[in-house]
C-alpha cells in the first residue's frame, strides 16, 4: 500500500499539470488565458508553455468606417496567440482636426460625436485598451490603405475611412525591433553615423549580434528626412555587411509608443526583422511598370527568389506593400490591381500597406544577389551589376516586402 501511495503521490503533479493545461487550452482566446494565468503560479507557468506553442498571425480590416470596431472585436474573441506587435494603417480622413487628449474613453458605446471628426486616434485608443499590455502598436495614418481580411481577401481603400492591421505573435525564431527617431534623435544619428558608430545601434534599437534580414521604414516628411533615411538604409546595407530587404514609404502621421496622438512633427519609424532563419526579400515596381503584365513580371521575380530553405519546415509569412498615391485607380482605372496580383501569387500571406507620398526600398532578391536597379522590371537580372549608388527613395513606384520565418 505504501508503494501505491508513493506512486500516486508522484503522479499527482503530472496529473494536475495535464488537467490545468487542458482547462487553459480550452479557453476561447488569449485574453481569457492571460486572465486565468493570474490565478496562481502553476497556472501562470502552464499558460506560458501554452503561449509559446501558439504562432498564428492574425489580420483584419474595415474598409468603410472608423466607428465600427466589430472586426477587431471578432478577431479578439477568437485570437489564441499572444501578439507582440500590432502593425496598423489607417486612412487620413479628418486628420486636419486634432482631437483633445483622451485619457478615459467609453469605448463600448462607440459614440464619437464629441471627439470631432478625427476618429483615427479614437480607434488607436481602442486598440491600446484591447490588446495585451506588452503588445507594441506601430504604423501610420496615410492617404489610403492596403488591407487583408481574416479570410485573406485583399482590399485597397484610397478614399474615405478604412483601416487594417496585422497581429504578429512572439515567435522564438523571429525578433522584431522597433525604433522612432524624432528631430533630436535624427541629429544624434547623423553625428553617430560619421564619428560615433558605436552609438548607432542603440539609436536604432539593435544589437551587434542581431542577424538583420529586413527593414521597414516609415517617414513623415520626405524633404526633411530623406538624408537620414538614406543613411539608415546604407548603414544596414554597408556597415553591417548584410543583404537586407528594405521597404516602406511616407505617411501623414506616425503611430508609435513614442509619438503622442495628434503630433504632426516629423519623425522616422522603423521595424527591424531579425533571425538566422528568417527569409526576406523586397522589390520595386518601377514607374514604367504600368500594365497588369508588367506588374505581374515583377511579382513573379519576387516569387521566384523568395525560396524557403527547408520545404518541410512549417513557416509563416507576412507581406508589406507601399504604393504611390497615383498608382491606384488613377493609373489602373480600377481598384486592387497590384495587391490583387500579389494575392494571386501569395494566396496565404497576409498583406498590409498604404498609399503614400513617396516610397522607400530596394530590390533585394536573395542572399546571393546585390541590390539591383529598381527602374528595370525585366525578369533577367544582371549577374554582375555595376557598382553605383543605390537609390532608396522613389516616386510613382510600389514597394513589396516579403518576410518568412520558421515556426515550431
- CATH code: domain of residue 125: 3.30.1330
- Residues 130 and 215 grouped into a single domain: no
**Is 333 exposed, middle or buried (CB count within 10 Å of its CB: 0-12, 13-18, 19+)?**
exposed
- Residues 402 and 290 grouped into a single domain: yes
Is 302:400 a contact under the CB 8 Å cutoff? yes
Residue 213 lies in a domain: yes
pLDDT digits (tens, 9 = 90+) for 323-348: 999 999 999 999 999 999 999 999 99
Is 282:305 a contact under the CB 8 Å cutoff? no
Q: What is the mean pLDDT of residues 176-194?
A: 95
Residue 12 or 105, more confident: 12
Bridge partners for 364 per DSSP: 282
Closest CA to 401 of 349, 358, 329: 349
pLDDT digits (tens, 9 = 90+) for 345-388: 999 999 999 999 999 999 999 753 445 544 444 444 344 444 55
Residue 200 lies in a domain: no
Residue 271 lies in a domain: yes
- Residues 138 and 247 grouped into a single domain: no
Helix, strand or coil, per DSSP, at residue 15: helix
- Residues 361 and 252 grouped into a single domain: yes
* Confidence grade of residue 122 (pLDDT, cut at 50, 70, 90): confident
Bridge partners for 155 per DSSP: 147
Cell 520565418 -> residue: 405
Which of 37, 52, 67 lies at the terminal end of a domain, its last residue? 52
Residue 85 lies in a domain: yes
- Cell reading at 283: 522589390
- Residues 142 and 266 grouped into a single domain: no
Is 213:276 a contact under the CB 8 Å cutoff? no
Residue 275 lies in a domain: yes
- Residues 244 and 311 grouped into a single domain: yes
> Residue 374: how many CA atoms within 13 Å on its side-chain side?
26
- Residues 105 and 227 grouped into a single domain: no
- Residues 23 and 67 grouped into a single domain: no
Number of domains in the chain: 3
Is 272:204 a contact under the CB 8 Å cutoff? yes
- Residues 273 and 240 grouped into a single domain: yes
- Residues 164 and 311 grouped into a single domain: no
pTM (2 d.p.): 0.85
- Residues 264 and 285 grouped into a single domain: yes
Residue 188 lies in a domain: no
What is the extent of the structural domain holding 150? 58-169
- Residues 147 and 246 grouped into a single domain: no
Amino acid at each position: 500500500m505504501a508503494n501505491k501511495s508513493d506512486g500516486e503521490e508522484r503522479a499527482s503533479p503530472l496529473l494536475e499539470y495535464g488537467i490545468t493545461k487542458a482547462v487553459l487550452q480550452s479557453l476561447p482566446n488569449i485574453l481569457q488565458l492571460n486572465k486565468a494565468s493570474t490565478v496562481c503560479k502553476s497556472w501562470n507557468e502552464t499558460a506560458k508553455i501554452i503561449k509559446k506553442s501558439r504562432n498564428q498571425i492574425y489580420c483584419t480590416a474595415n474598409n468603410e468606417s472608423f466607428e465600427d470596431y466589430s472586426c477587431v472585436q471578432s478577431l479578439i474573441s477568437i485570437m489564441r496567440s499572444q501578439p507582440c506587435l500590432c502593425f496598423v494603417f489607417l486612412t487620413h480622413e479628418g486628420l486636419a482636426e486634432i482631437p483633445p487628449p483622451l485619457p478615459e474613453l467609453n469605448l463600448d458605446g462607440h459614440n464619437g460625436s464629441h471627439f470631432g471628426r478625427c476618429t483615427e486616434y479614437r480607434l488607436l485608443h481602442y486598440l491600446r485598451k484591447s490588446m495585451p499590455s506588452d503588445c507594441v502598436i506601430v504604423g501610420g495614418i496615410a492617404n489610403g490603405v492596403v488591407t487583408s481580411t481574416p479570410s485573406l481577401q485583399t482590399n485597397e481603400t484610397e478614399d474615405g475611412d478604412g483601416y487594417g492591421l496585422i497581429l504578429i505573435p512572439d515567435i522564438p525564431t523571429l525578433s522584431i525591433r522597433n525604433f522612432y527617431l524624432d528631430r533630436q534623435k535624427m541629429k544624434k544619428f547623423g553625428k553617430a553615423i560619421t564619428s560615433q558608430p558605436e552609438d548607432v545601434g542603440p539609436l536604432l534599437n539593435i544589437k551587434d549580434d542581431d542577424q538583420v534580414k529586413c527593414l521597414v521604414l516609415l517617414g513623415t516628411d520626405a524633404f526633411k528626412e530623406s538624408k537620414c533615411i538614406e543613411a539608415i538604409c546604407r548603414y544596414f546595407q554597408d556597415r553591417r555587411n548584410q543583404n537586407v530587404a528594405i521597404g516602406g514609404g511616407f505617411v501623414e502621421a506616425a503611430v508609435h509608443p513614442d509619438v503622442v496622438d495628434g503630433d504632426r512633427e516629423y519623425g522616422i519609424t522603423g521595424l527591424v526583422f531579425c533571425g538566422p532563419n528568417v527569409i526576406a526579400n523586397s522589390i520595386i515596381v518601377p514607374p514604367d511598370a504600368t500594365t497588369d503584365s508588367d506588374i505581374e513580371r515583377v511579382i513573379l521575380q519576387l516569387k521566384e527568389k523568395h525560396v524557403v530553405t527547408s520545404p518541410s519546415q512549417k513557416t509563416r509569412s507576412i507581406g508589406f506593400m507601399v504604393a504611390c498615391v497615383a498608382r491606384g485607380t488613377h493609373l489602373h482605372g480600377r481598384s486592387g490591381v497590384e495587391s490583387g496580383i500579389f494575392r494571386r501569387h501569395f494566396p496565404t500571406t497576409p498583406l498590409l500597406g498604404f498609399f503614400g507620398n513617396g516610397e522607400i526600398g530596394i530590390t533585394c532578391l536573395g542572399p546571393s544577389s546585390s541590390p539591383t536597379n529598381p527602374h528595370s522590371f525585366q525578369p533577367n537580372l544582371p549577374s554582375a551589376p555595376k557598382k553605383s549608388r543605390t537609390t532608396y527613395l522613389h516616386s510613382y513606384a510600389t514597394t513589396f516586402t516579403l518576410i518568412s520565418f520558421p515556426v515550431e
